[in-house]
Amino acid sequence: MRRKVIAGNWKMNMLPNETIQFIEDLAPLVKDTEHEVILCVPYTDLFYALLTAQNTNIKIGAQNMHFAESGAYTGEVSGKMLKSINVEYVIIGHSERRQYFNETDETVNKKVKAAFENGLKPIVCVGETLEQREAGKVEEIITNQTKLALEGLTNEQVENTIIAYEPIWAIGTGKTATKEDANDAVKAIRKKIAEIYGQNVADGVIIQYGGSVKSSNASELFSMSDIDGALVGGASLKVDEFQKIIKFEQ
Ligand code: 13P
């Protein structure tokens, strides 16, 4: 049985004092959960989040990184830098980065490799636009993004990658994919991984759903055969809502 992984993506929200308060409030509420809990916070909150989450079961991630270790890349942060302060996870290839910051399948692949080289665990985002869905191209788009993101990784690295299926039209819109559509998309990703890396690897990979996940729809999404948790945006900014998602409570 695969574990469930519930990750919050705070995007460009929350200041250090709010981060400390949030984690102090959340930690006792989720201390007994059997699910993995991750908060992916802005760079400026990472250090505070890591300190506050020490001795709790909340893990901390970043939302992006550069693929180079160091160098003349003004404004960027490397995997080596994230690892140096004990960050554990890093989101790579979020659709907002693909859309606004020229992230491509090629840079996603470079970043995933650099994450592993630096001992970080990547959460790789894939997902289709509404246009692509309406054209019947969901499977083609998301399996291709997955294949390109994972190219050149070892089986072990693929098994340690978390994939987040996030249909772009469902992000921040209040529209969630139906549990059947979400599960079908996740299954298609798992099938593609099986084709390339073998069934054993595919059976072990955590594949989350993301896009307007909230406490009122989390439990039905998590009841599906292939959905192994969620990458949560807006609803991860409120302690009560996020802890309900982690506990699958309505
Ligand atoms: P929302 O949950 O706000 O729709 O955002 C989803 C997302 O982009 C998580 O990475």
Q: Is the pTM of this model over 0.85?
A: yes
pLDDT given at position 231: 98
Q: Closest ligand 1 atom, CA of 212? A: 4
The pLDDT tens digits of the residues spanning 73-129 come to 999 999 999 999 999 999 999 999 999 999 999 999 999 999 999 999 999 999 999
Ligand 1: does its nearest atom lie under 6 Å from the Cβ of 122? no
| Distant-in-sequence, close-in-space partners of 72: CB < 8 Å, separation ≥ 6 | none
- Distance spanning both ends of the chain, measured CA to CA: 24
Whole-number Å distance, alpha carbon 72 to ligand 1 midpoint, is 32
Other CB atoms within 10 Å distance of the CB of residue 141 = 18
- Residue 6 in contact with residue 213, Cβ under 8 Å? no
Ligand 1: does its nearest atom lie under 6 Å from the Cβ of 233? yes
Sorted by where each begins, the domain ranges of the chain are 5-246
- Residue 135 in contact with residue 197, Cβ under 8 Å? no
3-class state of residue 220 by DSSP: helix
The pLDDT tens digits of the residues spanning 121-162 come to 999 999 999 999 999 999 999 999 999 999 999 999 999 999
- CA 100/CA 30 separation, integer angstroms: 34
Nearest CA to ligand 1 atom 7: 233
| 213, 217, 237: residue to mutate for ligand 1 pocket, most atoms within 8 A of CB | 213
Nearest CA to ligand 1 atom 1: 233
Ligand 1: does its nearest atom lie under 6 Å from the Cβ of 215? no
For domain 5-246, give the CATH number.
3.20.20.70
Give how far Cα 229 sits from Cα of 36, 80, 111, 116, 215, Å.
Answer: 9, 28, 23, 22, 12
Q: Mind giving me the DSSP string for 43-85?
A: HHHHHHHHHHHTTSSEEEEES--BSSSSSS-TT--BHHHHHHT
